[in-house]
Amino acid sequence: MEDCENPVVLGLLPTGSDPSMWRDIKVYQDHAFIVSEATSHGMQVFDLTELESVTEYTDFSQTVRYDGVGSSHNIVINEDSGFAYIVGAGSFGFGPNDCSGGLHMVDISDPVNPTFVGCYSDMGYTHDAQCVNYDGPDSDYTGREICFASNENKVDIIDVTDKANPTYISSCSYLGARYVHQGWLTEDKNYFLIDDELDNLGNPNFLKSNTRTMICDVSNLDRPHMKRFNRSSTTAVDHNQYVKGKYSYQSNYRAGLRILDLSCIQFGGNSMKEVAYFDIYPEDDDNEFNANWSNYPYFESGCVALSGIEQGLFIVKPDIPEESKKSLLKEFIRNSLI
């Protein structure tokens, strides 16, 4: 997206089954892969090159449909390996192989011929995940394909290199976990940042407290440990976050998009400093499940797309002031002494 100010609606791709507000879309190469919690939705595949010749609003049709699952909560794609991981399958209806809600692995190297290649469900239901070709600090796993699965009460780390025989490595858990919803690796792969969707809702110890981001040290995949947690400036429920460079882009429902500088934890500290925000629900930051659902910060232009459940699509271009190394060092020292 080069033009942040003039987005154009090109058309509509109808859903694959009954309507549902819960769906997820990921892109691999030039195809979109769409799943939904609607019963019998399967996975829609849409060839995005069809958009290149569109000159007016168009009703599109799916290119192919993968019916190896019925409903599912989310889809994860490792663009470096060409594999998709459908998660939460069967939670609202059952497909031929729902993998008990765990990792349902699909070879999408040929996007119009998605092929089931394996399951992993030993650790139960997976709500979301990040799967990478590992090039982090733990040399024991260099070159392996590793999934960091947010599994409701902890993050499970799984080696999925052999799709017929994926293996459990370890887990990262923390006190007060209520619903380990989603998370993302820092780019150096030293830390996995976790958002818990319910920890400041259902736990009396955290009721109405400010939103937490858990910082799990995963520099040793066999022995991950919780480093600390970071408090947000708001009390809104946290939902999805993604890391680009030294920033975490967090979608926290009624608090909107919050951008946090990770420099201090990359220096070995414990805190994340908020440097920018865009609030699509300025009325309040209450613990409710509406407003900002997710965001996408990876456009080369610097634009960030964020979705509002009631509000629609927003496109913003953050103006983040660059801080001096001296300022960041002071922040690191101050927080390390707390």
Residue pLDDT, tens place only, 121-162: 999 999 999 999 999 999 999 999 999 999 999 999 999 999
The verdict on residue 321 lying in a domain is yes
The verdict on residue 308 lying in a domain is yes
Residue pLDDT, tens place only, 258-274: 999 999 887 666 679 99
Q: How much of the chain, in percent, has pLDDT values that exceed 70?
A: 89
The verdict on residue 333 lying in a domain is yes
What token pair was written down for 7?
A: 């987005």
Question: DSSP letters of 9-39?
Answer: --EE---SSS--S-EEEEEETTEEEEEESST
The verdict on residue 116 lying in a domain is no
pTM: 0.92
The verdict on residue 25 lying in a domain is no
> What is the total count of domains within the chain?
1
Residue pLDDT, tens place only, 171-211: 999 988 999 999 999 999 999 999 999 987 755 554 567 88
The verdict on residue 20 lying in a domain is no
**In which domain, by residue range, is 309 found?**
232-338
Q: Where are the beta strands (DSSP E) in 162-281?
A: 167-172, 180-185, 191-196, 212-217, 225-231, 240-244, 247-251, 257-261, 273-278
